[in-house]
Chains A and B, each alone.
Chain A
Amino acid sequence: MKHLLSSQAPSLSHLRSLLRRGEGEAPCSRRSTGHADLDRRLRGGFLVGALNEVLLPDHPTGIMEALLPLLRPDPDDTEPRFSAWVHPHWLPYPVALAQAHLPLDRLLLVRPRHEDDQLWAMEKILRSGLCATLVSRLPAATPDRVLRRLQLAAKEGRTLVLLCRPQAAARCPSPAPLRLVAAASRPTPPPHVRSVEVTVAKSRGLPPPRPFSLIWPLRDTVILNSYATPETVHNDSINLRMLAQPSMDRAPSRPERDRRGAPTSG
């Protein structure tokens, strides 16, 4: 802090640079997640050549569907590379990937029989540098040395690793430079959009985490019938298109009300 006592007042950016961690390390390139809001919060996207952890709850949130654009061929690659998905049984349904316009011939599904083979295959693929992206899932209790090894392999192979782990892993240290926590959105979003609550729990050089809702549109989705309670249906500002189905009841429409809350006629 010697420079603070000098005759010249330090600039604000200089002070920030002293307080910011991670200075002096070579910056990783980033790849867009396909969501401008998330990219903005991550200063460009997920890290290439590093582990990017996503901590998942027990029930599905939709976060994997949101991150599918990461499996598209990297536009910066001079030669085409695979996207690998490695796990004994947690593998995607390729028909859904085809619907997301991912090239299936550039996708490598790897089904190791047990965890030792899984870690071996992950390290082999990462060090080869022949895959642009690798997706996998590891338990919460994965030792730190294993994660460090994978982090080094990812750096060597210049591969973006999307590593999913249970939310219990939040209590465990990790060498991954980026860690997101996904949770179901509260309140429940309208049925015709997808939304997941994301918290950036760890990222070099970013301010402390605050959860935000990542929202992305589906193709035309309509409420065909809903027996849900009114609190879970948000139709204030969203125009819902109702289909006429002869065998179904229409959802009850809200009557027009005047300023005092009394129903109006017509």
Chain B
Amino acid sequence: MAQIATVWAVFQGLLLEALPFLLIGVAISSLARAFDPSGHWLQKLPKGALLGPLSGALLGFALPACECGNVPVARRLLAVGAPLGTAFGFLFAAPVLNPVVLLSTWAAFPDKPWLLLLRPAGSVVIALVLSGLLQLISESKLLNSELLAERRLSQPLAAVSLLERSTGLIGQPLAALTTDLKSSVQNKPAGLLSHGVDEFLELGSLLVLGCAVAALIQTLIPRDLFLALGQAPTLSVVSLMLLALVVSVCSSVDAFLALGFADQVTPGALLAFLLLGPVIDLKSVSLLGRVFTWRAMGLVLAGVSLTVLLIGQALNLLLL
């Protein structure tokens, strides 16, 4: 009984902490919809394997949000037809490359300047790798079907055919096919409000599921299990990656949490913990399901795990 009560309390803590950030993310997404409904400007964000993810990552400085808040923003970027690389750069790197997270990292580890340098650098590397990896598969196999349909409607006909838009008969007026998109724009602000509320409710319900799983695992599995391998060069990195997945703490404060066990683990493991959590954890995995297909989610998990492991290993080789 004590465990059930504890799971419930941890669940409440996770949810109440994350909901405001989700609300901020949906608000930013709705503002983007209001000011650039057809995605005219967002489609002009830099493309390219390097420039796209880098510019997306740097958007984090303009829109500081943790991993819960930036999913709706990244969805909006993708929905309006922004370049994939830019949206992925924002999704994967912005939770670290923003002033709040960098300041908290510095505040937690003033004696580890290398961490302040390597955390953002590692995030950029992860964004570049994941962006390159995900663009190896076609958009139809990459993006969640609803998001893909909305993206197709925003892309110019030169880039996407009517068949890909699933619009039915050739010659059918575009306005009739884009009812949702058009009406939400034309009926400002009521349409925007309605769409934003739908998005918040849907992502909020997924967040509830993610928080429930994270609370359950956190309470039932001893944290010491993850820290037991603290000084083994490779296993320490792997175990801290698993801990980052389970703990599901907001990227703006995870450095303070890491401070609690920093002396027990290798430098590579510490960096791995700070790099993996902002990309994916049990709390945010359900939210990412509104962006990607399951296959793409598998690719994200495999790609980020391998990249973080290699970064952690390389650091351990250098410092140990």
**Do the two shown chains form a genuine complex with each other?**
no
